[in-house]
Structure 1
Amino acid sequence: MSKPYLDPVTWYATLPTVFVCACLLITDPEGRVLLVKPNYRPTWDFPGGVVEEDEAPHECARREVTEELGVPVEVGDLLVVHWSPPSGERPRPLISFVFDGGVLSDADQITPEAEELDEVAFLPWHTAVTLLSGNITTRLLTARLARHEGRPIYLSDE
């Protein structure tokens, strides 16, 4: 005898959930990487943020970066998908998407969102990696490699 199927609402309610964020790798004509210093955490980060309900990751990256920097941005190719297990106070896995944000020629266009950001800077790669937390450093260096190789890369913190 076969087991009855669950109705879709019940079945979907049993599935695990994750947190999702999306950001952009943006550089300047000299090849320096753009990082932001949020005022709500001690470390620097990529420009980007958390995906809202019914929002695609690439749309989130565009919205968040435009809001944070005050500059309209184009979202290019997917560079990295990074899966991280639950950690510390985060009770669910996190999936981070990094898209290519291209080269921003005129840094004077940037108007940082003062309510959220303390600083915005184009930094040499060797400096940038010292300002990021461990898994974000890995994500940044992997995004650089993916852009160079012209292919997306999957990361896992397992």
Structure 2
Amino acid sequence: MSEPYPDPAAWYATLPSVFVSACMLLTDPEDRVLLVKPNYRPGWNFPGGIVEEGEAPHDGAMREVVEELGVSVKAGELLVVHWTPPAKDRPRGLINFMFDGGVLEDPARIRLQAEELDEVAFLPWDTAAPLLPAHIAPRLAAGRLARENQSPVYLPGDLPGAGG
């Protein structure tokens, strides 16, 4: 006689979990990348944030762009999936999904969310890279490569500077 199937709730409770975030790679007509400067942590970042419970990553990225920049941008192709292990105060791994937000033709439409952001800037790619925290920086080159090759990139968390 076989054992009864486990209770689904009990079984799911035993599985590991991760935090999920999503962001967008946006550029302007001069091919400069858009970064935002949060006021609640050091360094710059891509527009985006934590995906809410039950929310699809592409929907989370679009919601965050509206909240942070006041512009509605459709999430295009998936560019990067970036997994990072637990680190410091974050007890679980994090999976970030970067979507192509395309070219923002009219940057004057941006309305910065002052509650969370101090600045927004379109920057040359090589100027943007050193402004990103070490654990986020690999997404910049990966996002650019994915756009050029029209093929998503997977970034494992064991890359130099990718932890945390």
TM-score (norm 2): 0.94
Partner of 2:44: 44
In 2: Cα distance, 1:144 partner to 1:122 partner: 15
Q: How does 1:18-97 map to 2 (within 5 A)?
A: 18-97=18-97
Partner of 1:133: 133
1:148 is paired with a residue of what secondary structure?
helix
In 1: Cα distance, 2:39 partner to 2:133 partner: 15
Partner of 1:114: 114
In 2: Cα distance, 1:108 partner to 1:145 partner: 27
Partner of 1:147: 147
Shift of 1:157: 1.2
In 2: Cα distance, 1:43 partner to 1:4 partner: 52
C-alpha distance after superposition, 1:44-85 (max 9, x if no partner) = 000000000010000000000011000111110000001101
- Report % sequence identity: 66
Shift of 1:2: 4.4
In 1: Cα distance, 2:85 partner to 2:116 partner: 26
2:129 is paired with a residue of what secondary structure?
helix
In 2: Cα distance, 1:15 partner to 1:2 partner: 23
Partner of 2:16: 16
TM-score (norm 1): 0.97
C-alpha distance after superposition, 1:80-99 (max 9, x if no partner) = 00110101111000000000
In 2: Cα distance, 1:5 partner to 1:84 partner: 33
Post-superposition, which runs of at least 4 consecutive aligned residues in structure 1 deviate over 6 A? none
The alignment of Structure 1 onto Structure 2 pairs a total of residues equal to 158
Please tell me the root mean square deviation across aligned C-alpha atoms, in Å.
0.9
Letter in 1 for 2:55: E
In 2: Cα distance, 1:16 partner to 1:2 partner: 26
